[in-house]
Amino acid sequence: MSKSVLLSGSTIGILGGGQLGQMLSMAASRLGFKTHVFEPSANPPASNVSSIFTQAEYDDYKALEQFSSSVDVVTYEFENIPTGALDIIERQCEIFPSREALKISQDRLLEKEFINKLGFKTANFYEVSTQEDLTHAIDQVGTPSILKTRRFGYDGKGQLKLESASQAEDIWKESSAKDLILEGFVNFSREFSVIGSRSKDGQISCFDPGENVHKEGILRTTTVPANLTVQQKTEAVLITAKILESLNYVGVIGIEFFLEKNSLVINEFAPRVHNSGHWTQNGCTVDQFEQHIRAITGWKLGNAERHSDIIMENLIGDDIYKTNKLVADGSLALHLYGKADVNPGRKMGHFNRIKK
């Protein structure tokens, strides 16, 4: 094997200890790898299934150095990792997916420019740094539109909807951040996503597109197969492959699409395993978590074939209190994250149901 292929028994460093880190860690262990999870908060889900757990802040450079020296490769479960932390880590070991992919996906403006440059559609957008920009942006993009922070948004956070131009002044006052983007509203009929992956030697594999339903900005369900034409699925897969290749990408990527009339509009992508790919845990032999571990360790990718049709449903906040009922329905594949605090909008678990 080449030097860039890690043997079973090597240690994978994971930045972030939430449920994605937890499921990555279990996939790694299933292939005989050890994991070292780095996370600022105490007792995160991933700490229960990692070989080593370091609780430290991302500006604790000493902890980051120790972390990097103890692992053979580093990956992450979320894209908003401070650049300084990555600089420290990169002195000692490789980070996958690459910093280029991370940099682009961290910034809605760069992300949309990158996608457009490849020839693919996004919502109309306009950069906004001042109130004058906003006025001008509304002229260009129209209403309804959404004012979003360029960075650090997730699950609908950092977004304000603009119904008409007259709201501009109020919206501007309401927004604390000044590093913004105004996005035109996409009048979509469906939302779906493709979980793609690319290995170190350029092998590309995509799971079947999943159809997503969001509520209050948070993913609620993913259904596979998605109600799309073969042509639409093919186009989505080709777009995914093109993005992966342009970035010389290694790992799993989650790309969110809108279907607007008959055309595909890319909403955003995440350089990591993705909530809308959880269905693969019970629908495929090799799931998105294992696929990611295979990619970043230089292994061949698994076959992304689907053996079962699946509906994935998230358990958000209070939903966790219906666990009893879900357990009693013995045909569900439950995935509970073991989070102690139940907050509105917090992802507490999910379940997959095989469709008959």
By CB under 8 A, residue 70 contacts a copy of itself: no
Rank residues 138 and 310 by Cβ distance to a copy of itself and give the closer one: 310
Residues 221, 174: Cα–Cα separation, whole Å:
31
Rank residues 59 and 329 by Cβ distance to a copy of itself and give the closer one: 329
Q: CB 10 → a copy of itself: shortest distance, Å?
A: 10
DSSP 134-180: HHHHHHHH-SSEEEEESSS--TTTTEEEE-SGGGHHHHHHH----SE
Contacting residue, 8, 130, 164, 343, with a copy of itself by CB under 8 A? 8
**Helix or strand (DSSP H, E) at 34:** strand 34-39
By CB under 8 A, residue 282 contacts a copy of itself: yes
What is the sign, positive or negative, of the torsion defined by CA atoms of 73, 278, 318, 189?
positive
By CB under 8 A, residue 30 contacts a copy of itself: yes
Q: CB 253 → a copy of itself: shortest distance, Å?
A: 18
Per the listing, tokens 């969001």 go with 214
Residue 251 in tokens: 């790992």
By CB under 8 A, residue 51 contacts a copy of itself: yes
Distances (CA, A) of 19 to 5, 23, 189, 252: 26, 6, 30, 16
CB of 353 within 8 A of CB of 331? yes
**Interface with a copy of itself by CB under 8 A: which range of 32-40, 110-118, 141-149, 156-164?**
32-40
By CB under 8 A, residue 263 contacts a copy of itself: no
By CB under 8 A, residue 230 contacts a copy of itself: no
Rank residues 22 and 232 by Cβ distance to a copy of itself and give the closer one: 22
By CB under 8 A, residue 200 contacts a copy of itself: no
Nearest-5° Cα angle at 54, 99 to 76: 25
**Using CB under 8 A as the criterion, which residues of the chain lie in contact with a copy of itself when the complex forms?**
1, 8-9, 22, 25-26, 29-35, 45, 47-51, 205, 282, 285-286, 294, 299-303, 305, 307-308, 323-324, 327-328, 330-340, 349, 352, 354
